[in-house]
Amino acid sequence: MPHKTPGMWPAMSYADLLDHASKSVAGALRELGIDNDDYTVEIPSKPGFGDVSCNVAFLAAKAAHRAPREIAVDIAKECRPTDLIERIEAHGSGHINFFANVPALNRSVITSALDGGSFAVDVGHGSKVAIEHTSVNPNKALHIGHMRNVVIGDVISRILKSTNHRVRVLNYVDDMGLQVAELVLGFAELGFSESDTGGKRFDQYCGDVVYVKASEKIKADPALKAKSMEILEAMEDQATDLAQTASRISHKILRSQLDTCWRIGARYDCLNFESHIVRSGMWARIFADLQKGSMVRLETEGKNAGCWIVPGSAPEDDKVLVRSNGVATYIAKDIPYAAWKLGKIPDPFGYEPCAQEQPDVPLLQTSLSAPEGAGADLQSDRVITVIDSRQTRLQTIITALLAKFFGATKQDYVHLAYESVTLSAETAAQMGQQTGGKNVQMSGRSGLFVNAVAVLDMLQERARAETLRRNPEMGADELDRVSEQIAVGAMRYEMIRQDLDKVITFDLASSMRLDGDTSSYIQYAHARAVRILQKADRPGGGADYASLCGAHERDLVRAIGTLGLSLRDSAVNLSPKVVARYARDLTVAFNAFYEHVRVIGSSEADPVTVARIELVDSFRAALAYALGLLGIPAPPRM
């Protein structure tokens, strides 16, 4: 944590403590004539190094040809205590350790946590950021793998909004892709019914039945493959019957997909349709510019003869932009869309309210291919595109083209990559797939995936049974609400508790666990804190903050007081896991405190009891805020 940016820290006491220590070191260096500004002040991970530790003596020792311990002693003597720092000591290792004024620190942490809005961190300084996530082809229901994209994107949007970024959330609808064309072929040529879905939701029916069966037949019959390509080409002309069919079907599927996303807590500002990008003329204008440069070429021989390609390092790495029949590929459509998101080209779209009303947030808009309706103010200074790591090569091409033709940097256009979600061998076997004991990659084309809605339903059913067992007097409506909150939390936490570069192996049984490293463990701690506060008769007397000096109390104060630092780290590094880990660590600290410290004493007007009750309340506030960043509900009862 560099000392150079104290203004970036949130209005929380541990951030203030770091700032005080940094300024104290800076003053000591000036007094000693030491020129070094590369040091860090940080909260030590090991006991015995104070509340804050600084490494400056190690950095200064080399130039001074002295032992770090000797320089640390000199610097510590020149450092000055503050209202938050009680004493400064040189450690034998060479670290300079700062020890907090415990009553002042406790008061600062608790009152800050109970002061609404005090967790906010100004990282963005009001800059505009567009976040594109979800963007699932409208030919199937969302499976559990898609949920990782949805949750990552939604959590990043929440974190950036909380760090003073003006965030616009986009969902790109590929309503003109080959997968939609194959679905249309299923309905138009293979006899599948749009109305008789066999009791399935329309998105599930299309993905499980129509798309899978159509793909099998197309793979086996060259004539059907040629027909699907004809449909794809016809879809570009919105006046054709096939284009109308494609639009109708994809919109019906999209409605079901959005219901799933909204159930999990995701929200959007605009739905951008690929068909509108094609019909806006953006691609034609940019393609003309690309042809003048050296980054694309027309192939005259080989398998890509007649196609415009982006050359790769080897022929097999070439990427087709425009097929020989003149139909642009999806990467070709991504290029103008990326330039539009960054505001590098004028906005050609019109906008209208989405016909499907989004819950509890401002109006959701959809793009139009013609510039009609009010502008949506969606173009941004920075773009974050959440796409799995299998698309890294394509995202690299887009980034290079944006840099060449528009001067965009890697900081302007960010590909937030994540690894896929695989199925455990046990779960695959439950679905009738024999994998030889190996985990398998989910595939919509083969029909191998776990439906997200089905998983949520199973999670809710399990949560409902457990909640009813613990609360037999709970009414049906509350029982449904709490069990849904637990189910949503379970799925969301599973998707962000690991590093983005780690493959998640989804196991149906493990996903329904309600203990361990799960959101329900964290949610239950919040409900426990609420129960304590409901039982406490809070007379509003003075609190003895100095009494919160035991190990478990101090650990909890520290955990509460570092929320802002975790939020900043998460925003800077675009890492949802940081906040998830914070929520987990905060819960562990609270449970240890709850186990070892009696909160409600014989007299609740006693200043020690008042301080402990306020500590519990500040924990509740910090945890609720962290859960809100993760999009995980904080039930008052479980």
pLDDT digits (tens, 9 = 90+) for 413-432: 999 999 998 888 887 787 66
Identify the band that residue 47 occupies on the pLDDT scale cut at 50, 70 and 90. confident
Token pair for 316 = 């097999």
pLDDT bucket at 27, cuts 50 / 70 / 90: very high
Instruction: Name which residue leads in pLDDT, 8 or 547.
Output: 547
Q: How far apart are CA 525 and CA 605, in angstroms?
A: 25
pLDDT digits (tens, 9 = 90+) for 273-324: 999 988 888 888 888 888 887 778 999 988 899 999 988 878 888 889 998 9
Query: Is the pLDDT reported for residue 501 higher than 90?
Result: yes
The two three-digit tokens of residue 491, written as one number:
């799925």
Give CA–CA dist 344/331, Å, rounded: 18
- Band of residue 257 on the pLDDT scale cut at 50, 70, 90: very high
More confident: 42 or 516: 42
pLDDT of 327 above 90: no
pLDDT at 541 over 80: no
Give per-residue pLDDT as tens, 390-413.
Answer: 999 889 989 988 998 889 999 999
Q: What is the DSSP letter of 131?
A: E
How is domain 6-100 classified at the architecture level of CATH?
A: 2-Layer Sandwich (3.30)
319-322 and 308-310 beta bridge pairing: antiparallel
- Above 50 in pLDDT, residue 3? no
Could you report the per-residue pLDDT of 621-634, keeping only the tens digit for each? 999 999 999 999 99
* 183/286: higher pLDDT: 183
Per-chain mean pLDDT for the chain: 90
Phi, psi of 567 (to 5 degrees): -65, -45
Helix residue ranges per DSSP H, 538-606: 551-561, 563-573, 576-596
First to last CA, the chain: 38
Angle between helices 576-596 and 563-573 (to 10 degrees): 160
How many other β-carbons are positioned within 10 Å of the β-carbon of residue 445?
16
pLDDT of 101 above 60 = yes
Segment 131-142, tens digit of pLDDT: 999 999 999 999
Residue 153 CB coordination number (10 Å):
28
Please list, in sequence order, all residues whose beta carbon lies within 8 angstroms of the beta carbon of residue 220, skipping any fewer than 6 positions away.
Answer: none
CA 185 to chain centre: 36
Domain 519-630 CATH superfamily: Isoleucyl-tRNA Synthetase; Domain 1 (1.10.730.10)
In this prediction, residue 487 carries a pLDDT of 94
The residue type of 16 is: D
- pLDDT of 6 reads 37
Alpha carbon 91 to its chain centroid, in Å, reads 40
Distance of CA 303 to the CA centre of its chain: 40
pLDDT of residue 446: 65
Domain boundaries, the chain: 6-100, 519-630
**CA separation for the pair 593, 528 (Å, rounded):** 12
pLDDT surpassing 70 at residue 604: no
